[in-house]
Every structure is written in C-alpha cells, then in structure tokens.
C-alpha cells in the first residue's frame, strides 16, 4: 500500500496515472493553500482539516471530486452534484478541461459573500 501521494500515483496504470498527474497540477494551481495527501485510501487535498478536492481511480474511470460543490455554477453540465460533493468521471486525459476544472475549484473554495 502506498504511503505517499507520489507513490500512489506512480503505482497507477495508464491512463489513470496520466489523469492523476493532470488533476494534481490543476488542483495545486487552483487551490494553492491546500495540501495533497492520501486520505481514506485515495488522494485528497485538504485546506486545514477540510477536504477540498480529490480523485479516486477505478478500473474504467477516475472520479474527480469537489467537496462543497453546491455553490458551483456549471454551464457545461458535466459536474454531477450530490449532497456533500460534486463529481465527474474521467476515462482519459481528453476528458479533462483544465480551465473548467480550475473554475469549479475556485468557485467551491471562494469565501462566502
């Protein structure tokens, strides 16, 4: 079992590894105060003790997760909103829109007005 985020990503098969590497950069750039770590067995970025975003690889896709996704406006219709988090399933890096994902993350982490 991997002990670090680097080890976790290195052990993934393609395309999950490529998705993970892309998401890691997007999350890090969009939420610079958050810290990436393994949390409940998969990569999650925490702002203090609060989860912000993460991803979980499955055999056929990787789920990108945003906690507090309820305030996110998603004109693309890709983000599936749930009670506690919003998600999108990714089959490959072609499914990643870095600007869109960064926008979602910035909306989800914006201070309440």
Across residues 26-32, what is the average pLDDT?
96
Per-residue pLDDT of 86-108, as tens digits, reads: 999 999 999 999 999 999 999 99
Evaluate if residue 111 carries a pLDDT over 70: yes
**By C-alpha distance, which of 53, 68, 69 is closest to 20?**
53
| Interatomic CA distance for residues 93 and 3, integer angstroms | 25
Cα 34 from chain centre: 12
Residue 113: predicted pLDDT = 62
Give bridge partners of residue 89 from the DSSP assignment. 63
Q: Quick one: DSSP state of residue 93?
A: G
Q: CA 82, CA 11: separation in Å to the nearest integer?
A: 29
Domains of the chain: 5-109 (3.90.1150.200)
Q: Are 54 and 65 in contact (CB under 8 A)?
A: yes
> Considering only 2-6, 15-19, 46-50, 67-71, which range has the smallest mean pLDDT?
67-71
């Amino acid at each position: 079992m991997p002990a670090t985020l680097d080890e976790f990503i290195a052990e993934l098969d393609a395309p999950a590894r490529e998705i993970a590497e892309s998401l890691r950069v997007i999350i890090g750039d969009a939420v610079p105060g958050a810290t990436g770590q393994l949390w409940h067995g998969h990569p999650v970025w925490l702002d203090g003790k609060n989860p912000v975003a993460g991803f979980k690889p499955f055999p056929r896709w990787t789920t990108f997760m945003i906690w507090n996704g309820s305030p996110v406006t998603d004109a693309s219709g890709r983000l599936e909103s749930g009670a506690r988090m919003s998600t999108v399933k990714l089959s490959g890096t072609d499914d990643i829109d870095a600007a869109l994902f960064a926008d979602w993350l910035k909306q989800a982490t914006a201070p309440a007005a």
